[in-house]
């Protein structure tokens, strides 16, 4: 049960290796008493530049095959743990954080077989069989969207707003002609200059071109497969729309909820092995 | 003949509409005498936010079908002109500056038919027939390379350096599987984290993936066509390598030289119609 929550923008990019504990205490110090409290974390906090390096587990394996790493030498008011990520040697790929979401998603679905899509900055497509992560593939789709929207020439032509039909058309176009991506992108600028195209339509098209290209690449992952999307609700909806348009059957689950469930399981594992 | 040259980083992004003349004078004031001197310019200087708006000419047309626009109310020591760009209504596309390079390239090649590739931030593929630009297509390949290399997670894994074999392999891979782009990109990060891949190899692969995807899209432009690349020598060499690997026959021409020749022709046109 969530009793309280707190968040901050002090992520990996802003916090130095020896500042993680103080960044955490800024958020949770008011929650602490005399008895030590368990803190269980996942994601980039376990990277080499993170709080404590938690070496990857190699797939195929259970999403959380080993107990979380204990962070040494913390303040005595906490016992802190970090969940290790997963690595795949061929083709090389890595994840940190998604393994916890996958573990949370699978906890209420014993014997689930299928594919989980985790959309985000670096979208993951994960093949699951017999409760194991068999293989996975990461796409830089979200990061490309952010860069193109915020830092490229398209920033002059893409604004807030949205258009469902424009998204659907762009996604279908990219699914059939993914190689045209770089031309379609400049087309958004030209359509603004020559036709005064609406910036919200352009935003939906930008998203559609990038997600459509990703779906062209992941066709073997979603075509005829049991498929679940684990992500933020808005983004999951967008992926689900594009996939349903292609006839795929999609279940969605909220990623925050899956993370919390996964962290609770990781805490159990930590206490069993402590 | 080039008697002297000067350049500055004060491009479109840094110069306000009413500052173009002063930015120019910072560079050329020492060259001016009492008699007015012709200044002929091309590129974004003719955009709406430029020195003077030079409305696009619509293709199909000669690369420079109208006389350059005279900039009004300049310092009496100069007579300034701006070459208008080209636009294509369907699919929407625009160019500013490349029309001058094309004009310069064609000046010594009467009756040239074929395709000109102008690699750069926004690479252009231009179909030329009977001295006219018939159609063209712009790819954001160069801008994507810069953003991914400098601003994405790949900045940690891509460094200076180069590897010809890695470029060739990446370009061939993207030519056959262009839809995999966003996954191949993250693969560069993972190959660094898991295998310590060299940053120069990663740079060549990043370039290869992006250019290979572009060549997959432009196949009808270069397959079996008379083909010329007009660009900076380094970048032209990279494109030429990838194209020759695919069996294309490629001629290259230096873009600065083509720009100068094109501007000289534009000056003639300006004087004829003045």
Q: What is the DSSP string of B146-179?
A: HHHHHHSGGGGT--S---HHHHHHHHHHHHH-GG
Distances (CA, A) of A83 to A31, A256, B19, B85, B109: 22, 16, 56, 56, 66
Q: Give me the mean pLDDT over the B127-142 stretch.
A: 97
Per cent of chain A over pLDDT 90 is 93
State how far residue B91 is from chain A, nearest Cα, in angstroms. 8
Please provide the DSSP assignment of A184-211 as one string: HHHHHHHHHHHH---HHHHHHHHHHHHH
Closest CA to B33 of B2, B73, B75, B68: B75
Per-residue pLDDT at A273: 80
Mean pLDDT of chain B: 95
Structure confidence by residue, pLDDT tens digits, A72-93: 999 999 999 999 999 999 999 9
What is the count of residue pairs from A and B with beta carbons less than 8 Å apart? Answer: 130
Burial of B35 by CB count in 10 Å (0-12 exposed, 13-18 middle, 19+ buried)?
exposed
Q: Does A151 contact chain B (CB < 8 Å)?
A: yes
Per-residue pLDDT at B32: 94
pLDDT at A14 over 90: no
Per cent of chain B over pLDDT 70 is 100
Structure confidence by residue, pLDDT tens digits, A219-236: 999 999 999 999 999 999
Closest residue to B213, CB basis, from A123, A140, A179: A179
Per-residue pLDDT at A103: 98
Q: Are B96 and B46 contacting, i.e. CB atoms less than 8 angstroms apart? A: yes
pLDDT at B18 over 90: no
Q: Does A180 contact chain B (CB < 8 Å)?
A: yes
Residues from chain A contacting residue B194 (CB–CB below 8 Å):
87, 89, 92, 94
Closest CA to B231 of B113, B139, B134: B139
Q: Give me the mean pLDDT over the A148-157 stretch.
A: 97
Residues from chain B contacting residue A177 (CB–CB below 8 Å):
217
Q: Give me the mean pLDDT over the B210-231 stretch.
A: 96
Closest residue to A194, CB basis, from B87, B180, B190: B87
State how far residue A249 is from chain B, nearest Cα, in angstroms. 22
- pLDDT interval class at B9 (50, 70, 90): confident
Per-residue pLDDT at A274: 64
Structure confidence by residue, pLDDT tens digits, B238-261: 999 999 999 999 999 999 999 999
Per-residue pLDDT at B15: 86
Q: Are A233 and A225 contacting, i.e. CB atoms less than 8 angstroms apart? A: no
State how far residue A142 is from chain B, nearest Cα, in angstroms. 10
Distances (CA, A) of B155 to A24, A95, B244: 27, 18, 30
Residues from chain A contacting residue B139 (CB–CB below 8 Å):
182-183, 186
Q: What is the ipTM of this complex?
A: 0.94
Residues from chain B contacting residue A216 (CB–CB below 8 Å):
179
Residue that is written with structure tokens 């100068």 in the block: B260
Per-residue pLDDT at A44: 93
Closest residue to A139, CB basis, from B183, B216, B217: B183
CA dihedral B69, B70, B72, B78 (to 10 degrees): 140
Closest CA to A114 of A98, A102, A99, A123: A102
Structure confidence by residue, pLDDT tens digits, B95-120: 999 999 999 999 999 889 999 999 99
Residues from chain A contacting residue B92 (CB–CB below 8 Å):
187, 190-191, 193-195
Closest CA to A182 of B42, B27, B56, B123: B123
Contacts of A142 (CB under 8 A, 6+ apart): A119, A120, A121, A122, A123, A235
Structure confidence by residue, pLDDT tens digits, A91-141: 999 999 999 999 999 999 988 999 999 999 999 999 999 999 999 999 999
Per-residue pLDDT at B274: 64
Residue B91 preceded by cis peptide, ω within 30: yes
The b/e string for B38-60 (b: 16+ C-beta within 10 A; e otherwise) is ebbbbbbbbbeebbbebebbebe
Mark yes or no for CB contact B180/A217 under 8 Å.
yes
Mark yes or no for CB contact A179/B140 under 8 Å.
no
Distances (CA, A) of A27 to A24, A31, A262: 5, 9, 21
Mark yes or no for CB contact B140/A122 under 8 Å.
no
Closest residue to A92, CB basis, from B182, B190, B213: B190
Mark yes or no for CB contact A93/B190 under 8 Å.
yes
Q: Give me the mean pLDDT over the B53-57 stretch.
A: 95
CA A167 to the chain's CA centroid = 21
- pLDDT interval class at B48 (50, 70, 90): confident
Q: Is A97 left (phi over 0), alpha (psi -120 to 50) or beta?
A: left
Mark yes or no for CB contact B182/A148 under 8 Å.
no
Q: Is B128 left (phi over 0), alpha (psi -120 to 50) or beta?
A: beta
Closest residue to B186, CB basis, from A122, A179, A193: A122
Structure confidence by residue, pLDDT tens digits, B151-185: 999 999 999 999 999 999 999 999 999 999 999 99
Mean pLDDT of chain A: 95
Mark yes or no for CB contact A94/B183 under 8 Å.
no
Structure confidence by residue, pLDDT tens digits, A16-69: 888 999 999 999 999 999 899 999 999 999 998 899 999 999 999 999 999 999
Per-residue pLDDT at A96: 97
Q: Domain coordinates of chain A in residue numbers? A: 141-253
Mutate which of A156, A179, A222, A239 to disrupt the B interface (most B C-beta within 10 Å)?
A179
State how far residue B268 is from chain A, nearest Cα, in angstroms. 29
Q: Does B95 contact chain A (CB < 8 Å)?
A: no
Mark yes or no for CB contact A140/B147 under 8 Å.
no
Per-residue pLDDT at B90: 96
Q: Domain A141-253 - what CATH class?
A: alpha beta
């Amino acid at each position: 049960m969530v009793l309280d929550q707190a968040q901050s923008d002090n992520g990996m990019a802003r916090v130095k290796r020896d500042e993680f504990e103080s960044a955490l205490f800024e958020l949770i110090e008011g929650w602490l008493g005399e008895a030590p409290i368990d803190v269980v974390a996942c994601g980039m906090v376990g990277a080499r530049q993170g709080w404590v390096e938690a070496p990857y587990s190699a797939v195929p394996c259970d999403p959380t095959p080993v107990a979380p790493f204990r962070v040494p030498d913390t303040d005595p008011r906490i016992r802190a743990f970090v969940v290790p990520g997963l690595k795949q040697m061929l083709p090389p790929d890595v994840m940190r954080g998604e393994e916890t979401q996958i573990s949370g998603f699978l906890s209420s679905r014993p014997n689930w077989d299928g594919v989980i899509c985790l959309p985000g900055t670096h979208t993951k497509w994960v093949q699951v069989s017999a409760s194991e992560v068999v293989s996975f593939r990461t796409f830089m789709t979200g990061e490309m969207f952010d860069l193109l929207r915020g830092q490229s020439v398209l920033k002059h032509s893409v604004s807030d707003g949205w258009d469902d039909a424009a998204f659907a058309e762009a996604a279908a176009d990219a699914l059939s002609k993914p190689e045209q991506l770089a031309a379609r992108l400049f087309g958004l600028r030209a359509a603004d200059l020559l036709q005064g195209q609406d910036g919200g339509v352009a935003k939906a098209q930008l998203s559609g071109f990038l997600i459509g290209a990703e779906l062209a690449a992941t066709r073997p992952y979603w075509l005829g497969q049991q498929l679940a999307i684990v992500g933020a609700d808005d983004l999951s909806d967008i992926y689900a729309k594009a996939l349903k348009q292609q006839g795929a059957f999609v279940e969605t689950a909220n990623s925050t909820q899956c993370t919390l469930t996964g962290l609770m399981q990781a805490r159990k594992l930590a206490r069993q092995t402590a």
